[in-house]
Amino acid sequence: MDVLAVLLLGVGADGMGVLMTLSGLGFLLLGVPIGIVVDRHLSPRLLAATGLAKAAVLGSLVVAWAFDALTFGHLAAVMALLGVLTVLAETTQTALVPRVVPATAVARLTARLESADAALVLIVPAAAGVLVGSLGAGPVLGIATAFLFAAAIVALRVRLRPSAAVDIPDDDGDPGVADVLSRWARFGKDAAEGWTVLRRTPVLWLLTMGSVAANVGMALFAPVEAVWILTDLRLGPEFLGVQITAGAVGALAASSLAGRAIDRLGERRCILLGSVGCAVAVGLHLLAYADRAHAGPWLLAGAALWGFMVLLGNITQAAVTARACPEGTLGRVTAMRRTLTRGSVPLATLAGGALGATLGVGWALAGWQVLAVVSLAAVVPAARWVDAGRDDVD
């Protein structure tokens, strides 16, 4: 999407900030309501329907490109809709885990899904960057649409394990005022329960605050990155693909080594290592800014280290979160966490775009570095609770 916006529509740093803000509004405004809806209507069909909707929305860009009718407004609407659908898909996927495998395997499967998701987030843009350079943006969007459609079909093959019967209030007849108020009360109670679990579980709260700081920092730089590389450094769209490939290699390495690393080092050390490594990776991006003559190698090294450390931290945190949540609350706690961690991104991307457009990319990079250190400061005390919490549960 970044390459499409910059190369086809000539979008600058401020425009990229607007697009990324729109894509993150779903987490900020609808994260908790979506989490409650998922808990009440959880099924593989919900995941499949979400995938089909994403394919249709993305397909509209392919049609617009084919008729040379693509506009910034259209792209902005697609980014906003895809953001909402992504919240729904990710929350549904996470909540399905305890319904697919036994309780003893929830943490393991959650970690594997986190590993696969994080790796794909890096691998797919890497492949897209390379393909855009050779095929163009339109055909690549068409390929992405086809993959989304195929994923929706695969989701229908998911089978749930039997669960205990749950009493569901009858909804026969037209709802009266009291019934409507009762539904809103249940909605508020469900939301409050997710918040209470998150806030009263120290390891979850501290890790969430660390993720908020890390995401805000990354969001400050994200709107200016493609503009900086393509128009200032003039490294070309192919370099963007190579850069993201470097991140993908790091992520794949983390995916294959994370299990052994956690077994050997423990969850506490892996979480700390991931946070420290991310701060160092941001520093490599700063070196690219300071040393323009060697910006390419610094950026590639930073991307590879970032990909490895982010995925190592995410895999470990996913396992900790799945184990720390009381039974039946994982969907709501996950939605609440994402509301905080990703809901903080829209305003940060808007600020990052404005910062880059007015003061330059250096200020955005400096903000990212400062917040990476703040994130580490939150993770350090959280790590004290990780192994203690594991002993309590096991």
| Residue 286: strand, helix, or coil | helix
Domain-embedded: residue 203: yes
Alpha helices in the chain, H assignment, sequence order: 2-3, 9, 13-40, 44-66, 72-100, 106-135, 137-155, 177-200, 202-227, 236-265, 267-290, 295-324, 330-341, 345-358, 361-393
Domain-embedded: residue 330: yes
Q: How many domains is the chain built from?
A: 1
Domain-embedded: residue 167: no
Tell me the two tokens of residue 39.
């808990």
What is the mean predicted confidence (pLDDT) over 23-38?
Answer: 75
Sole residue written with tokens 């079909």: 153
Task: Return the H-helix or E-strand segment holding 326.
Answer: none
Residue 99: exposed, middle, or buried by beta-carbon count in 10 A (0-12, 13-18, 19+)?
middle
Tell me the two tokens of residue 205.
């709260």
Average pLDDT, the chain: 79
Dihedral of the alpha carbons of 334, 338, 341, 343, in degrees to the nearest 10: -160
Domain-embedded: residue 277: yes
Domain-embedded: residue 170: no
Domain-embedded: residue 168: no
With a cut of 60, say whether residue 389 has pLDDT above it.
no
Domain-embedded: residue 57: yes
Sole residue written with tokens 């080092």: 265
* Separation in Å, CA 145 to CA 52, 54, 149, 155: 9, 8, 6, 16
What is the extent of the structural domain holding 278? 2-160+176-393
Highest mean pLDDT among 165-179, 201-215, 332-346 belongs to: 201-215
Rounded Cα distance between 10 and 163, Å, is: 52
pLDDT digits (tens, 9 = 90+) for 134-186: 666 677 777 878 888 888 888 888 877 765 444 444 444 455 455 545 655 66
CATH number at residue 183: 1.20.1250.20
Highest mean pLDDT among 9-18, 60-69, 107-116 belongs to: 60-69
- Model pTM greater than 0.85? no
Domain-embedded: residue 171: no
